[in-house]
Structure 1
Amino acid sequence: MRTVIFDLDGTLADTSGDLLAAANHCFRQMGHGDVLTPELDAAVSVRGARLMLAHGLKRVGAYDAQVVETYYPIFLDIYGQAIDTHTYFYPGALEAVEALKAAGYGVGICTNKPEGLADLLLTRLGARDRFASLVGADTLPVRKPDPEPLREAARRAGGSPDHCVLIGDSDTDRNTARAAGVPSVLVTFGPSGDDMAALEPEALLHHFDDLPKLVSDLIGVAV
């Protein structure tokens, strides 16, 4: 079986609102007030909690690596308490997932969000059972851009790691697919959409309606 593996943040769903809210909660605890804004920092929000915390601290001239590490678990706790307040699936995302499954592809997720938080978010959004696999940042000893999480997501979705495609929104996803020797499709509607063409993926995705045909063109029919 051929499989389609999705990144989560910035690819399937816009999670930036809840991520920024959790980061700003941390910054308020530090005494800096709300440091990050959706207008300036949506792209940063989907690159990981530590990077987001570091980015905000640098903005206010208070960067300290130890402060980032101290607040990382605090961030995760705060984020987990309000993980689906502002988050939503991009238009057509779930319809594309169902179309791919109907065509015979295995469908899974490979994300650098901790597995427990990814599972919680998908469950809260009522979509966990739509995906045959879920590999998070801490599922294996390594994370993207190491290719093994992508390969494992393909295997757990019932497919061959050599016959999958990764749908993502970042250089991390592009590099993961390249390391695995499989194609990548990068979305242009996520927070970093304007930068995706420069990464030279095998395809760009402007709307989820176009995904089933792109997948077929890149890796062939499902079986």
Structure 2
Amino acid sequence: MRTVVFDLDGTLADTSQDLLAAANACFRDLGEGDVLIPEQDAGTALRGGKAMLTLGLERLGRYDAALVDAYYPRLLEAYDAAIDTHTFLYPGAMDAVHVLLDRGYGVGICTNKPERLAEKLMQSLGVRDVFGALVGADTLPVRKPSPEPLFETARRLGGDPAKTVLIGDSVTDRETARAASVPSVLVTFGPSGEDMAALEPEALLHSYDALPDVVLRLIGQNP
């Protein structure tokens, strides 16, 4: 079986505002108020919790790697408590997923979000059951850009890891696909969309309407 594997944050859903709120909860604990700005820092949010903490502490002139590590569990706690307040699925994402399923592709998620939080978010959004597999940052001993989480997602879907395509929104996703020797499709409608062309993926995706045909071109169709 050929498979289509999606990143989550910034690819299937815009999670940036809830992530930024969790980081700002940490900065309030430090007595600094809301340091990160939703309109300005969404791209950093989609690179993960430690990236947000690093940016905020640098902005304050207080960067310390130990402080980032110390507050990361607090960030996850705050995020867990309000994981879907502002998060939304990108327009057309689930329509495209259903078309892919109708065409016989296995469809799964490979994310660097902790598995438990990814599962919780997808359940909250009401779409977890649509995806045949979900591999998170801590599902395996390694995470993206190692190719192993991508391979594992394809295997859990009953697919051939060599016949998959990764849909993502970051240099991490591009490097993961390259390490796996499979094509990548990077979306341009996220906060960092203007930077995706420079990563030279096999395809850029400007709208989910085009995804089924892009997948067909890149990996063919199932028998």
Contact kept? 1:144, 1:173, Cα under 8 Å: yes
Matched residue, 2:203: 203
TM-score (norm 2): 0.99
Contact kept? 1:108, 1:133, Cα under 8 Å: yes
Distance (Å, rounded) in 1 between the aligned partners of 2:56 and 2:158: 41
Displacement, 1:39? 1.5
Displacement, 1:143? 0.3
Displacement, 1:194? 0.4
Distance (Å, rounded) in 2 between the aligned partners of 1:33 and 1:187: 33
Distance (Å, rounded) in 1 between the aligned partners of 2:6 and 2:222: 16
Matched residue, 1:48: 48
1:38-187 matched pairs, under 5 angstroms = 38-187=38-187
Distance (Å, rounded) in 2 between the aligned partners of 1:16 and 1:59: 19
Distance (Å, rounded) in 1 between the aligned partners of 2:96 and 2:151: 21
- The AA in structure 1 aligned to 2:5 is I
Show CA shifts across 1:154-187 (max 9, x none).
Answer: 1111111000000000000000000000000000
TM-score (norm 1): 0.99
Matched residue, 2:31: 31
Show CA shifts across 1:176-217 (max 9, x none).
Answer: 000000000000001110000000000000000000000000
Distance (Å, rounded) in 2 between the aligned partners of 1:65 and 1:187: 31
Distance (Å, rounded) in 1 between the aligned partners of 2:104 and 2:31: 52
The percentage of aligned residue pairs carrying the same residue is: 68
Give the match's secondary structure for 2:162: coil
Distance (Å, rounded) in 2 between the aligned partners of 1:222 and 1:56: 47
Matched residue, 2:192: 192
Which sections of structure 2, spanning at least 5 residues, go unmatched? none
Distance (Å, rounded) in 1 between the aligned partners of 2:191 and 2:157: 27
Displacement, 1:87? 0.2
- Larger displacement relative to structure 2 (207-216 or 62-71): 62-71
Give the match's secondary structure for 2:161: coil
Kindly report structure 1 stretches of 4+ aligned residues shifted beyond 6 Å: none
Contact kept? 1:3, 1:222, Cα under 8 Å: no
- What is the Cα-based RMSD across aligned positions, in Å? 0.6
Matched residue, 1:17: 17
Give the match's secondary structure for 2:194: helix
